Structure 1
Amino acid sequence: MAKAKKVTKKKIKAKAGKPAQVSWRQRLKRWLWRLLFVILIILLLPYLLVLLYRFEFIHPVSTLMLGELMSGRSYERQWVELEDVAPVMVQSVIMSEDGQYCAHSGVDWDALSIIVEETLENGSPSRGASTISMQVSKNLFLTSWRSPIRKMLEIPLALFSDMFWGKPRMIELYLNSAEWGHGIYGVEAAAQSYFGRSAEKLTRKQAALLTVALPNPILRNPANPSKGLRRLASRIETRSKQSGAYIKCIYP
């Protein structure tokens, strides 16, 4: 009888020391929670960086620049303060890329609603509705792949960053993060590469040529423009001369 009790105690001890097995459902649940946590961090990180990038001594890099480094390629970017950029460059960019820049709070809702209607009716819009604020959000925090999901992420980021950065800081970040060719980022590097002068010394014509290259910087060469590109640049020159009321938030 004593022997039987001894064996029973040994079995109980053995069971107590054995770790409880975790079911596949529990493991799946843990991994899902971890995945949800990672996704949440990824979604919140840009908003934390927006707060950080508010400080003017910080010179952020774009996701494309990071992609260049990860691919083992180098890139050229020389940071330039907004006051060291020729006003004609700022005028050209705003009049070409976002005429309502000083009027909206990061998103041009009227233009966006038109794009949505055209997409629903025709399947594709005839033009884009990305404001400069949305483009900066894409450049600094998102990928260049076009998709409805990216656009949904762009909009709240643009509103948030526009509120915290203000218009002068926003345009400064845009001019320093925009791509202007293979491995060429920012207006200073573009001005030096294509025209052999600083961004501060750009003429109105050169500023217009740099601006019209922005939609397709890989194929459009501001220093050797096609006839069509020169025609577009001429239009931007005319608009930039009439930009007074449209750029009050930059040059009061």
Structure 2
Amino acid sequence: MFKFLKKLILVIIIANILFIALGIFFNPPITWTQLGGIIKYGKLERDYISYDDMGNNVKKAVIASEDQLFFTHNGFDTKAIEKALKHNEKKGEIRRGGSTISQQTAKNVFLWQGRSWFRKGLEVVYTFIIEKVWGKDVILARYLNSIEMGQGVFGVEAASNYYFGKSAKDLTKSEAAWIAVVLPNPKKYDPKNPTPYLRKKHNWVMRQMNNIVLK
């Protein structure tokens, strides 16, 4: 039994190393979240595209909405994490994560959805590694290709076609902002039928996009 466990651990380690190395060049064949989308909605709308084919508007919109310090932090936003920890201590459970785009990429590419401390710990490890191995452009590309952006809809290209009938590179500033604002809860929010809160967030993201400089 002990020998079997040792071999299993070794296989898992080697598989992870290969997955991380290949991730520099390729998008994930499928993720746990995407599998969940297939099971729940009976579909997987996804179209991987290159970083250059995404266009600048959607990159700026998502960074403005999710992680404005993306290009300057080391994968972790310490101030956001401190706020999240204080909030979670009051609630007695994990309700906020303070997650950066790098952390969300680690979660969506390698892990599963959930709020356990164990998954959060793995997320920290993967985030540290991809920051060192992949770099910012690859992380952002994998994030924008794999993130859930609607019910069974994954990635900016599929979302652009689903919501606006066009490619991501052709999105206007306003359209890109609409896609970005659904990210906190893509199963609930809908740019085609926005709530007052979503309209307010959209206007805020539009303003913040003016401050984003792509590297």
Deviations 1:102-139 (A, max 9, x none): 11122223322332244335535785311111111111
Q: Residues of 1 paired with 2:71 and 2:96: CA distance?
A: 20
Q: After superposition, where does 1:228-247 map in structure 2 within 5 Å?
A: 228-244=197-213, 247=214
Cα RMSD of the aligned pairs, angstroms, is: 2.3
Q: Find out whether 1:199 has 2:157 as its counterpart.
A: no
Please state how far the C-alpha of 1:101 moved relative to its aligned partner: 0.6
Q: After superposition, where does 1:59-138 map in structure 2 within 5 Å?
A: 59-60=27-28, 61-68=30-37, 73-121=42-90, 123=92, 127-138=96-107
Query: 2:186 — aligned with what?
Result: 217
Please state how far the C-alpha of 1:37 moved relative to its aligned partner: 4.2
Instruction: Please tell me whether the aligned partners of residues 47 and 157 of structure 1 are also in contact (alpha carbons under 8 angstroms).
Output: no
Please state how far the C-alpha of 1:52 moved relative to its aligned partner: 1.2
Q: Residues of 2 paired with 1:126 and 1:184: CA distance?
A: 24
Of structures 1 and 2, the larger Rg is shown by 1
Query: 1:160 — aligned with what?
Result: 129
Q: Residues of 1 paired with 2:74 and 2:132: CA distance?
A: 7
Task: For 2:212, give the aligned amino acid.
Answer: S
Please state how far the C-alpha of 1:218 moved relative to its aligned partner: 1.0
Instruction: Please tell me whether the aligned partners of residues 88 and 96 of structure 2 are also in contact (alpha carbons under 8 angstroms).
Output: no
Q: 3-state DSSP class of the match of 1:180? A: strand
Query: 2:148 — aligned with what?
Result: 179
Q: Residues of 2 paired with 1:121 and 1:223: CA distance?
A: 36
Please state how far the C-alpha of 1:68 moved relative to its aligned partner: 4.5
Q: Residues of 1 paired with 2:150 and 2:112: CA distance?
A: 17
- TM-score using structure 2 length: 0.89
Instruction: Please tell me whether the aligned partners of residues 87 and 96 of structure 2 are also in contact (alpha carbons under 8 angstroms).
Output: no
Question: Structure 1 149/196 Cα, relative in aligned 2: closer, same or farther at 3 Å?
Answer: same
Q: Find out whether 1:34 has 2:4 as its counterpart.
A: yes
Q: After superposition, where does 1:4-19 map in structure 2 within 5 Å?
A: none
- TM-score using structure 1 length: 0.77
Please state how far the C-alpha of 1:241 moved relative to its aligned partner: 1.1
Please state how far the C-alpha of 1:69 moved relative to its aligned partner: 5.3
Match of 2:118 among 122, 145, 149: 149
Query: 1:20 — aligned with what?
Result: none
Task: For 1:241, give the aligned amino acid.
Answer: N
Structure 2: runs of 5 or more not aligned: none
Structure 1: runs of 5 or more not aligned: 1-29
Deviations 1:28-77 (A, max 9, x none): xx2x553454355446633431111112xx22132222345577933111
